[in-house]
Amino acid sequence: MPANISFTDVIPVAEATFNMNSEIVKKSEANLNAILNHADSGYVLYDSGLRIIAFNALAQEFSHLLYSKKLVEGNHLLSYFPKNRHGALLEITQKVIHGAKICYEAYFKTDDYERWIEVRWLSVKNDNNKNWGFILASKDITEKKLADIKLEKVTSDLLRRNTALEQFANIISHNLRAPVANIISLAKMTGVEYGFEKDQALDFILSSSQALNKVIDDINQILEVRQQIHEVKQKIYFEQLLTDIKTSINYLILKEDVIIKSDFENSPYIFSIRSFLYSIFYNLILNSIKYRREGVKPEICINASTKENKVQITFTDNGKGIDLIKHGAKLFGLYKRFDTTVEGTGLGLFMIKSQIEELGGQISVESEIDRGTTFTVEIPVNTIN
């Protein structure tokens, strides 16, 4: 060491340098904490053993809100999640270690709130590119998700209404044109000129007018579906609804010796539009009776249950069945019929489908010839509460 520099000279300089570096580190940490605590995502840092090292304020807020648990340094990742999620979480961390980019949406719902959270997993590597730990990033996307759902519903409604307009165009161009043309032609007829007696011409005019009137009635029924959607929703007990329908068609049930079984124990009621539910039940029951098998006592089983936020109602019969390969694509179309041996207009299933879709639901069918048919109606719970 040079003679002109003593330890007493060096120590103050070293201390000053150390203090300056400490201040820089502290300032950097303070800046980083300020950034993280004002970020729009929650961040939790885990070590390679999945124990918490650090977290920001928003992550703590999410943990309290979604899991009713407080983040604590040293706690294990799995202690914050239910056991049925442990396997999936461990699988995710292994994928992240091997370079996978994991991002998914998680949905949380209680009586007080519903939230959609975007979750991202990141691997933290050391200088040797080995996994040192993990970052779990969580972002509340509820507002965006609700906007997307609303937009999706508007788009779905527009598509459905566009389909309805196409159906009306079909009615006007096909079903109205023929009877109107007949009425115009027959009104101009003179019995002699066209080889018809006067009474015959009047009969033709009458039958064409009746056909026209029937089409107008069908149009009115379809329009009523759009108007009834604004009815007040109420608590509807399935058993009572079924009893009312059985009373209204009691003569037919007795005549055809129909057996109707039901099980509504798992889902006894629904909040919905009563006229819609009545129409859906009524038409599907009537459909099963109409397409019964010759020589077989008609039997209809109706069950209701709640699955994945949906009320699911099944109508199963032992009737003729439907050739879905041949008729499946057009089964719910307007004026589409698959069995001309039975009287009908082809309006019933179209009306049922329209009403279910107005409730935000869907209908599907399973069937085999001479083995019966099952119609499954699903209505989302969150659209009818």
pLDDT of residue 349: 81
Q: Quote the CA–CA distance of 382 and 385 in Å, as a whole number.
A: 6
Tell me, yes or no, if the pTM score tops 0.75: no
Q: What is the mean pLDDT of the chain?
A: 77
Q: Which residue has the higher pLDDT, 135 or 3?
A: 135
Query: How much is the CA Rg of the chain, to the nearest whole Å?
Result: 35
38-47, 166-175, 199-208, 272-281, range with the lowest pLDDT: 166-175
Span 273-301, pLDDT tens digits: 888 888 889 889 988 998 898 889 999 99
The amino acid present at 33, given as its one-letter code, is N
Q: Strand, helix or coil at 71?
A: coil
Q: Strand, helix or coil at 109?
A: strand
Across 303-308, average pLDDT: 89
pLDDT of residue 307: 83
Span 184-200, pLDDT tens digits: 666 666 544 555 566 66
> With helix as H, strand as E and coil as C, how does 120-158 read?
EEEEEECCCCCEEEEEEEEEECHHHHHHHHHHHHHHHHH
Span 91-134, pLDDT tens digits: 999 998 888 889 998 888 877 778 899 999 988 887 788 888 89
pLDDT of residue 251: 86
pLDDT of residue 385: 39
| Phi, psi dihedrals of residue 317, rounded to the nearest 5° | -130, 175
Q: What is the DSSP letter of 51?
A: B
Span 229-246, pLDDT tens digits: 556 788 899 999 999 999
